[in-house]
């Protein structure tokens, strides 16, 4: 399939459930965790919940890893990229990367020059990085690359295998660069790969991570996590402050992250979303005229005739994701922790009818 970033479309009254996993509400265990820290506590991360989050990061990602909660994914990405770049350097990414297609002018405002490269099912390959290095390093007319940014899960719904990510990290590190992972859906990727979070990041060579929770059942909490000494020491604190990502009541963010990553909740929710996506893909594949990529995680890309697209979009908010090789429009459908079999069947029945 040939894919491009989404074209937005909205029908008044259409069900938004499959438009994104951002649509789902907060998991009950998240709400309980927020309520539990509602009493007075020290501000700006000096509270017990935030201290516990620091210990959780160390336990999950390895000794020496550290991080801090932030409000949202854009904030996590910008803080992370600023930690490993500077205004006269560049960051290599795929041309479908969220930081390139969906962060508006935030990277530019932060002084980050992005070097987008043609994607391969959403992925960046080692040879893509080598190509940029060959053309830019030492070239006085080019910004000098200091980092590479990837998305896991990618914007095309694909997942880097451990082998793919290891090969990419090796090339990046051999060139003296750092690698950032936009892990808005890291939980779904790790669950799909059968890995723990350490095995999906630190063990493969990732240097700094945007750790996502909102798309997996949090009310609204992400974190920036430093995984290696390729990230300058003590760099996070000032960046988090001047990017307005320092919460006075940090405990409410930390509590969500503790509930998500200090327990099995991240894996339970991600597995539920991935399982729902497989069920949805199988149901769509059985409908005449529909072509479906087997989902790597919780995102389904389905090519279908225009008439079916119109029928679907009368009932659901569904983003177009380009066209396949035969010219059929591709619809992106995303499952969340709250996607039930009944919810999938409702969508399938709309198309079957």
Tokens standing for 158? 């694909």
Contact call for residues 332 and 300 (beta carbons, < 8 A): yes
Asked whether the predicted pLDDT for residue 46 surpasses 80, the reply is yes
Domains in the chain, CATH or no CATH each: 2-21+266-352 (3.90.1150.10), 28-263 (3.40.640.10)
For residue 21, give the nearest of 249, 243, 304, 300 by alpha carbon. 300
pLDDT at 276: 98
Query: What is the pLDDT averaged over residues 251-279?
Result: 98
Binned at pLDDT 50, 70 and 90, residue 1 comes out as very low
Asked whether the predicted pLDDT for residue 8 surpasses 90, the reply is no
pLDDT in tens, 47-70: 999 999 999 999 999 989 999 999
DSSP secondary structure string, 272-339? HHHHHHHHHHHHHHTSTT-EEPPPSSSEEEEE--HHHHHHHHHHB--EEEEE-TTS-EEEEEE--TT-
Its pTM stands at 0.94
Grouping H, G, I as helix, E, B as strand and the rest as coil, residue 258 is helix
Asked whether the predicted pLDDT for residue 183 surpasses 90, the reply is yes
Tokens standing for 307? 């008439």
Asked whether the predicted pLDDT for residue 15 surpasses 60, the reply is yes
pLDDT at 106: 84
- CA–CA gap between residue 332 and residue 282 (Å, rounded): 15
Contact call for residues 91 and 147 (beta carbons, < 8 A): yes
Asked whether the predicted pLDDT for residue 155 surpasses 90, the reply is yes
Asked whether the predicted pLDDT for residue 293 surpasses 50, the reply is yes
Asked whether the predicted pLDDT for residue 10 surpasses 90, the reply is no
Grouping H, G, I as helix, E, B as strand and the rest as coil, residue 149 is strand
Percent of the chain predicted with pLDDT > 70: 97
Residues sharing a CB contact under 8 Å with residue 193, sequence separation 6 or more, in sequence order: 159, 161, 162, 200
β-strand pairing of 178-183 with 208-212? parallel
Asked whether the predicted pLDDT for residue 257 surpasses 80, the reply is yes
Asked whether the predicted pLDDT for residue 241 surpasses 70, the reply is yes
State phi, psi for 226 to the nearest 5 degrees.
Answer: -90, 130
- CA–CA gap between residue 12 and residue 30 (Å, rounded): 30
DSSP secondary structure string, 44-98? TT-SHHHHHHHHHHHHHH-TT-EEEEESSHHHHHHHHHHHT--TTEEEEEETT-H
Q: How far apart are the first and last CA of the chain?
A: 26
For residue 77, give the nearest of 243, 255, 250, 252 by alpha carbon. 243
- CA–CA gap between residue 188 and residue 336 (Å, rounded): 10
> What's the whole-number average pLDDT of the chain?
94
Grouping H, G, I as helix, E, B as strand and the rest as coil, residue 173 is helix
Least confident range from 29-38, 116-125, 134-143, 326-335: namely 134-143
Query: What is the pLDDT averaged over residues 21-37?
Result: 97
pLDDT in tens, 66-109: 999 999 999 999 999 999 998 889 999 999 999 999 888 888 88
pLDDT at 111: 85
- CA–CA gap between residue 58 and residue 321 (Å, rounded): 38
């Amino acid at each position: 399939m040939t894919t491009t970033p989404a074209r937005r479309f909205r029908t008044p009254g259409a069900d938004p459930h499959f438009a994104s996993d951002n649509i789902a509400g907060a998991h009950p265990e998240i709400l309980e965790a927020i309520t539990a820290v509602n009493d007075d506590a020290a501000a700006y991360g000096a509270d017990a919940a935030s201290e516990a989050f620091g210990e959780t990061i160390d336990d999950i990602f390895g000794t020496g890893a550290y991080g801090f909660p932030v409000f949202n994914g854009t904030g996590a990405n910008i803080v992370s990229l600023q930690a490993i770049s500077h205004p006269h350097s560049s960051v290599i990414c795929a041309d479908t990367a969220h930081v390139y297609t969906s962060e508006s002018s935030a990277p530019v405002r932060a002084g980050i020059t992005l070097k987008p490269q043609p994607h391969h099912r959403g992925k960046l390959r080692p040879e893509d990085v080598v190509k940029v290095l060959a053309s830019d390093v030492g070239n006085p007319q080019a910004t000098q690359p200091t980092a590479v940014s990837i998305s896991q899960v990618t914007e095309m719904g694909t997942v880097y295998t451990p082998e793919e990510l290891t090969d990419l990290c090796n090339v990046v590190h051999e060139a003296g660069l750092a690698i950032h992972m936009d892990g808005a859906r890291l939980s779904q990727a790790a669950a799909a790969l059968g890995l723990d979070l350490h095995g999906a990041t630190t063990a493969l060579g990732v240097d700094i991570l945007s750790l996502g929770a909102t798309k997996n059942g949090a009310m609204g909490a992400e974190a920036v996590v430093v995984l290696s000494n390729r990230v300058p020491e003590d760099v996070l604190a000032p960046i988090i402050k001047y990017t307005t990502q320092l919460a006075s009541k940090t405990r409410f963010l930390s509590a969500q992250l503790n509930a998500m990553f200090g327990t099995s909740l991240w894996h339970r929710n991600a597995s539920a979303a991935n399982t729902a996506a497989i069920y949805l893909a199988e149901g769509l594949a059985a409908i005449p005229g529909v072509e479906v990529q087997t989902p790597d995680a919780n995102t389904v890309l389905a090519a279908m005739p225009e008439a079916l697209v119109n029928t679907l979009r009368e009932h659901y908010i569904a983003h177009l994701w380009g066209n396949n090789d035969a010219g059929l429009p591709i619809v992106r459908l995303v499952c969340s922790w709250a996607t039930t079999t009944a919810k999938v069947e409702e969508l399938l029945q709309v198309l079957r009818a």
